[in-house]
Every structure is written in structure tokens, then in C-alpha cells.
């Protein structure tokens, strides 16, 4: 009975994620540098705060069926997007927590294109992405909580954070 309930819960979660198409994202970006006496500034650190979801599409990751979720800033700028992509199988077996540390997980990926800079997970620099999927209840819709640390080709680092981002499907 418990296994049947868990299986139906996983299928319900996947169904909700597949149905969430038109949601929105906003963000704030801040840039900080730190210095110590008699040293050059350290790597620029960009903070991106996501709080709304654009929508999801079906696709492929490593030739496996996958879900792709997009986030953007308040203006919906094509220059500012973050993406989560995960295989269906990984999502179903993740126990509502997606995690990739230094490219250790091939079935889940997170990246951002922000103000003309591409930020990504790397196995050469300490990076990670974690997404917690919160199940819906009578008071709240299904939501995602995102935290990540990404790097650009030039070594610029970006911290991505969010509150609980609603995956509520909007009426057409």
C-alpha cells in the first residue's frame, strides 16, 4: 500500500511538472568584489535571485526524455535566463531533491545566460546546483527552491538563490 501511494505521488509530481507551461521569473542581480590589503580584487561575484518561473518543455538530456524549466527576470529579458533540465527517470527517483556537484550527476543540469555572460556547472571549479521540489497541498501549489553556484568561462562566479517558486499553471 505504501509503495502504491509513493508511486502515485511520484506520477502526480511528474504530471504537475509536465503541465506547468506558462509561469514567470523575476530576479535581482548584484555584483560584489572583495579585496584584502595589498592584493588585487578577487573574482567578481554575481548574485541572481529567482522568484518566478517561465514554464517548462519536454526535451532530451543524454538521449533520454527530459524536462526543461526556464526562469527569467522581471522584464522577461531574453538576455537573462536560467534553465534546469532533468531526465524523467532522475526526477521520479530523486525524492524531490535534484543535486549536481561539480558535474557529478549526468541526469540533471543547471545553467544561466545572464547579462551576456554564460554561467555553468564545472568539474574544474567548485560549483553545484540543488533544486528542492515541494509537493502541493491544500494551501500551496507545487513549488521549487533553487540554490546554485556557477562559473563563467572567464572565472566569474554567480550565486543563484530563490525562495519557493510556484509551478502553478496559469489559465490561457
Report pTM: 0.74
Model confidence pLDDT, tens digit, residues 32-59: 433 334 434 446 799 998 887 888 999 9
Q: What is the pLDDT of residues 105-138, one digit of tens each?
A: 999 999 999 989 999 999 999 999 999 999 888 8
Q: What is the pLDDT of residue 169?
A: 52
**Residue 103 pLDDT more than 90?**
yes
* Domain extent at residue 58: 2-166
How confident is the model over 97-102, as a mean pLDDT? Answer: 97
- All 3 cell numbers of residue 111? 545553467
Under DSSP, the state recorded for 106 is T
SS3 74: coil
Q: Is 72 inside a domain boundary?
A: yes
Which helix (H) or strand (E) element contains residue 3? helix 2-19
Q: Count the alpha carbons within 13 Å of 125 in the hemisphere toward its beta carbon.
A: 16
Does 146 map to a domain?
yes
Number of domains comprising the chain:
1
Model confidence over 14-36: pLDDT tens digits?
444 443 433 333 333 344 433 33
DSSP secondary structure of 75-99 = T--TTEEEEEEEEHHHHHHSTTEEE
Q: Is 5 helix (H, G, I), strand (E, B) or coil?
A: helix
Amino acid at each position: 500500500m505504501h509503495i502504491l501511494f509513493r508511486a502515485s505521488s511520484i506520477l502526480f509530481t511528474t504530471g504537475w511538472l509536465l503541465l506547468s507551461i506558462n509561469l514567470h521569473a523575476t530576479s535581482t542581480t548584484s555584483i560584489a568584489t572583495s579585496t584584502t590589503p595589498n592584493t588585487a580584487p578577487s573574482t567578481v561575484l554575481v548574485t541572481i535571485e529567482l522568484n518566478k518561473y517561465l514554464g517548462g518543455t519536454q526535451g532530451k538530456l543524454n538521449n533520454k526524455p527530459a524536462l526543461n524549466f526556464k526562469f527569467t527576470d522581471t522584464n522577461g529579458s531574453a538576455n537573462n535566463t536560467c534553465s534546469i533540465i532533468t531526465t524523467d527517470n532522475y526526477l521520479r527517483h530523486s525524492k524531490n531533491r535534484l543535486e549536481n556537484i561539480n558535474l557529478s550527476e549526468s541526469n540533471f543540469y543547471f545553467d544561466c545566460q545572464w547579462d551576456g555572460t554564460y554561467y555553468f556547472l564545472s568539474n574544474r571549479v567548485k560549483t553545484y546546483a540543488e533544486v528542492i521540489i515541494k509537493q502541493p497541498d491544500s494551501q500551496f501549489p507545487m513549488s521549487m527552491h533553487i540554490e546554485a553556484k556557477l562559473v563563467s568561462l572567464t572565472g566569474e562566479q554567480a550565486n543563484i538563490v530563490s525562495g519557493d517558486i510556484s509551478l502553478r499553471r496559469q489559465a490561457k
